[in-house]
Chain A
């Protein structure tokens, strides 16, 4: 079964840090570009960051201003998002998403991990 399982979310104070993880199974993780997409409560989807299959290329949404770092470990079939200097507006459900080059779209989605930034 194709699966992405996120973990690492939780409650953190403003200015704090959190590291999200995503475990992939059921497909060739090392062949896919991976992404993080977030959804604030009751709001729409927002693309956050992407990393190419071999980690050569990394991109971020302008709104993050260098606070987040995406990485991956193909040996462990895992994707990560290090989030620093967290703000209330970072409160959201964070989805781990596989991008398919054959469909040029976000093909495989996890169920998400919730990050709440609040004092």
Chain B
């Protein structure tokens, strides 16, 4: 159960788009369409932003989108806003009823 690989940090200016990658293996990301993304502001609990690779829970802006290709999933945030600055974590089902998270990516809005 090795953690999924995410970039430590990404940044973008307001209005721009950024993409955060999440790389796993064929035993997790590549093997199942159960990838989810979580947003975590400092001192707060994580919040579900994307589930089943590309679906958005109600209330999440459509600026947030998810995709997957092979063993790599991606979260794209378009039209960056100041409140998007946070840590983002990907998560994947890893088989045998276990789950694995990514190491997290700090998004800075310049």
Point out residues on A near B: beta carbons under 8 Å: 35, 37, 43-47, 50, 57, 59, 61-63, 95, 103-107, 109-112
Point out residues on B near A: beta carbons under 8 Å: 1, 3, 34, 36, 38, 45-48, 51-52, 55, 57, 89, 91, 93, 96-104
Contact between chains at B38 and A106 (CB < 8 Å): yes
Q: A103-B57, A106-B91 are in contact. Are A47 and B101 (CB under 8 A)?
A: yes
Contact between chains at A61 and B48 (CB < 8 Å): no
Residues of B within 8 A of A50 (CB): 97, 99
Contact between chains at B103 and A44 (CB < 8 Å): yes
Contact between chains at B98 and A106 (CB < 8 Å): no
Residues of A within 8 A of B91 (CB): 45, 47, 105-106
Contact between chains at A106 and B104 (CB < 8 Å): no
A32 to chain B, nearest CB (A): 14
A11 to chain B, nearest CB (A): 20
Residue from A46, A106, A111 with most neighbouring chain B CB atoms (10 Å): A106
Residues of B within 8 A of A47 (CB): 91, 98-101
Contact between chains at A62 and B1 (CB < 8 Å): yes
Residues of A within 8 A of B98 (CB): 47, 59, 61-62
Contact between chains at B52 and A44 (CB < 8 Å): no
Residues of B within 8 A of A111 (CB): 45
Residues of B within 8 A of A106 (CB): 36, 38, 46, 48, 91
Give 30 A-B contacts (CB < 8 Å), ordered by A residue: A35-B99, A44-B3, A44-B89, A44-B103, A45-B46, A45-B104, A46-B3, A47-B98, A47-B99, A47-B101, A50-B97, A50-B99, A59-B97, A62-B98, A63-B1, A95-B45, A103-B55, A103-B57, A104-B34, A104-B36, A104-B51, A104-B52, A104-B93, A105-B36, A105-B48, A106-B36, A106-B91, A109-B45, A109-B46, A110-B45
Residues of B within 8 A of A107 (CB): 48, 57
